[in-house]
């Protein structure tokens, strides 16, 4: 699997969150999913995107821990490197 950079993952996550209806202007590493109105179904879909595109399998318990966009990006990058 080709290495992925934090920037690539960040940009893919922002694209996904925007497709779920989040305002792209409001998305930063610090913004919480709650603030962005991203709910558990959106996070399940994000996990599916990550699995399809990076081969990283995120379980329900992984997703439950995530509060902010930065948390998600860091988790995906760390799993992709592992």
Q: Does 45 bind other proteins (CB under 8 A)?
A: yes
49 binds other proteins (CB under 8 A): yes
Whether the Cβ atoms of residue 10 and residue 74 lie closer than 8 Å to each other: no
Q: Does 44 bind other proteins (CB under 8 A)?
A: yes
Q: Report how far residue 55's alpha carbon sits from residue 30's, in angstroms, rounded to the nearest whole number.
A: 25
What is the token pair recorded at 82? 């592992």
> Cβ neighbours of residue 79 under 8 Å, at least 6 residues apart?
54, 56, 58
Size of interface with other proteins, in residues (CB under 8 A): 8
Q: Counting contacts by CB under 8 A, is residue 11 touching other proteins?
A: no
Catalytic residue among 23, 37, 39, 52: 39
Catalytic, 42? Answer no
Catalytically active residues are: 39
């Amino acid at each position: 699997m080709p290495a992925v950079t934090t920037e690539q993952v960040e940009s893919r996550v922002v694209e996904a969150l925007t497709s779920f209806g989040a305002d792209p202007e409001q998305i930063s590493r610090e913004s919480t999913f709650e603030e962005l109105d991203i709910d558990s179904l959106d996070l399940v879909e994000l996990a599916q995107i990550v699995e399809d595109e990076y081969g990283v399998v995120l379980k329900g318990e992984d997703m439950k821990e995530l509060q902010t966009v930065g948390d998600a990006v860091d988790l995906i990058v760390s799993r992709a490197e592992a």
